[in-house]
Structure 1
């Protein structure tokens, strides 16, 4: 069981036992609990990597969401099908099934809706779903594989393509980390500096205000004071969101997902900490937790970065 946490910025930092309950990782399962689901997962994994789903067959979902980079691409902003940068940084897909909205601006409410957007976007895969269905139906392998995964006939439809991709994405659980071992009771899993960094994360650094819970995200939208003209969720019709607000990203596998922020403007974890410790763009939409300087010392900044690195799998 996980403990929900709504921070009170006027209250003292919770005691260590409470913090460990807040950040305790649950037992994660795969969505493939029956033969049909397993077949859809395997099919979705194949589709995710298949360039057949792009108009010019030069890209796949994995082009930007590289499994070897925690399903990111290592670029400040993803590259489109013409080689030019897109508008935002590629977010990780780890633990995406536990979110309640998708994309930096939260414009998709389901993973099926999310999967449709890059497939059909003119600057991304640029292939209407109806055309994707036609291409897949022309392949003997896919006719046979879709028939195994879905009982409806025809089995290859826009809906089953999206369901397969979403099933695969729901299977992407982040690996356990040294931090998880520490929370579970292995006191030697973190060094003294790393454990100090966790207390800074949960206290003076105020990181917990947005990055609480085992996924280190509140799934909400905040203005973090970057000098960007991107309105984020504020540009989504009907959202009633403030401008410059973006979804809080998970911090899992953080060492593999650089560069950081919605625009990829911060190249290192040190740069991220310095951003929050320094001067941010002051505007009405700026998150209340960020209006005042953190006042972290150089040693505190180093300890915080050391802790953040424990949120990624390590063979240590």
Structure 2
């Protein structure tokens, strides 16, 4: 039997080789709702005791302590789990989760999955190391790390003083990644895994920072952070004290910033205003034409370009 260490060594040898081609197949990012989940689902498996288990990934993203349950639609990959069918050497490149949320991955069956992770507080150092290692790629695509197409060995990253940790996930085990914790990995052989995101109260500050980060790189978010805050406030569901504290703090900051921006526009001579119900429009119809942020509280428009709206 080939050891995990031997497979790992061969994986990185192939990665670093310039004259060896290897073709692998990876069934990645497959919606559990369309292709089926490894966990029991209602009503199909309503008699199964795990249908309502909080560890069932079909429930975890919308559990009581996850803010994602307040979003108005199911988001594939974040709220609806994705399933993954891997083979030896199939890999997932360095990335963070959408909105810098938490993620949880369960390996249902098959060969181990090898993970590499960088702590949240080393994210900036990791990005600097990546730019130093492949500057020519970042010149072409400054948002390279958003593409999830770049694989660099842990040793090269560690050479820049960035801590990198590893774990071999076995069948029947969960792996959880934290907000803005870069991670990558590969499969040691055939396996079947499932993953989803969740957003507990301590995620909110990171989530707001992520929206600001996305705007710099003109990356469209998956949902409106401001809309999530407002929906939680207006919801009939009672919020925990932890949620109330963070939501109130962020709403105060959000409204203060909104007030200042509107006053600034008034000083610039913007006088005409009309009400718009943003949630009645699809997300792609209310994106800022410049930074692609999904607009919710307000937008700026000009009669010279009536089809375009902009973030304040």
TM-score (norm 2): 0.26
Q: Which has the larger radius of gyration?
A: 2
Structure with greater helix share of residues: 1
Structure with greater strand share of residues: 2
TM-score (norm 1): 0.25
